[in-house]
Amino acid sequence: MSNRRETGRVGATAASTAGSTLIEVLVAAVIMSSAVMVLVTGMSTLFSSSAQNRQSTTAGVVARDYAEALDLAVAQTGAWCSSTYTVLLTPPAGYTVSASYGACPTNNATTPQFQTVTISASAPNGSTELLRMVVRET
């Protein structure tokens, strides 16, 4: 009688342990799946953000390069306030750069001869970097 009671208790304990292990595994699988999904999503966001920031930074560099090239172009003989400046710069593939010029000052001996320029550089992802600068008569 005692043996049968013991056997019964042992059987019940074994069955209980087996069942809870299965549930635990299922719960664990769900938790791990969720974690993996969050991990993959986070890494995807990181890579995307990193790529965007890299392109923005590169667009900024392109704008600065254009500004340097524009300084050289303005310094050419007879170039000051001409209809267009010949800016020698080829931006990297996928990037575009352009400049809009403020009005040229009246050309006389008393008007300060400087001109505002806004440089716009666009990255392949569409982000744009603006750079405002001033050029003057050399």
Partner 1 sequence: MTLHHTRGRDEAGAALELALIFLLSTAVIIGTLLTFASSSSQATVVTRTTRGSDYDADAAMQAAIATIRVSTTQGYVGSCVSFTPTFTLNTPSRPVRVDCFPFSASAAQRHIVLSACPSSVGAPCPDTRALVRADVIFYDDQGFGRAVSIQSWSNQ
Q: Which residues bind partner 1 (CB under 8 A)?
A: 6, 9-10, 13-14, 16-17, 20-21, 24-25, 27-29, 31-32, 34-36, 38-39, 42-43, 45-46, 49-50, 53, 56-57, 60, 64, 67, 102, 109-114, 116, 129-138
CB of 115 to partner 1, least distance (A): 9
CB of 94 to partner 1, least distance (A): 18
- Which of these, 84, 92, 97, 86, lies nearest to 129 by C-alpha position? 97
CB of 64 to partner 1, least distance (A): 7
Task: Kindly tell me which of 92 and 114 has the beta carbon lying closer to partner 1.
Answer: 114
Question: In the numeric block, which tokens belong to residue 115?
Answer: 């001109």
CB of 88 to partner 1, least distance (A): 20
Q: Are 121 and 62 in contact (CB under 8 A)?
A: yes
3-state SS, residue 99: strand
Question: In the numeric block, which tokens belong to residue 38?
Answer: 């969050």
- Which of these, 49, 64, 85, 69, lies nearest to 129 by C-alpha position? 64
Task: Kindly tell me which of 50 and 96 has the beta carbon lying closer to partner 1.
Answer: 50
CB of 10 to partner 1, least distance (A): 6
Task: Kindly tell me which of 27 and 82 has the beta carbon lying closer to partner 1.
Answer: 27
Q: Are 80 and 137 in contact (CB under 8 A)?
A: yes
Task: Kindly tell me which of 34 and 82 has the beta carbon lying closer to partner 1.
Answer: 34
Q: Are 99 and 87 in contact (CB under 8 A)?
A: yes
* Distance of alpha carbon 83 from alpha carbon 137, whole angstroms: 15
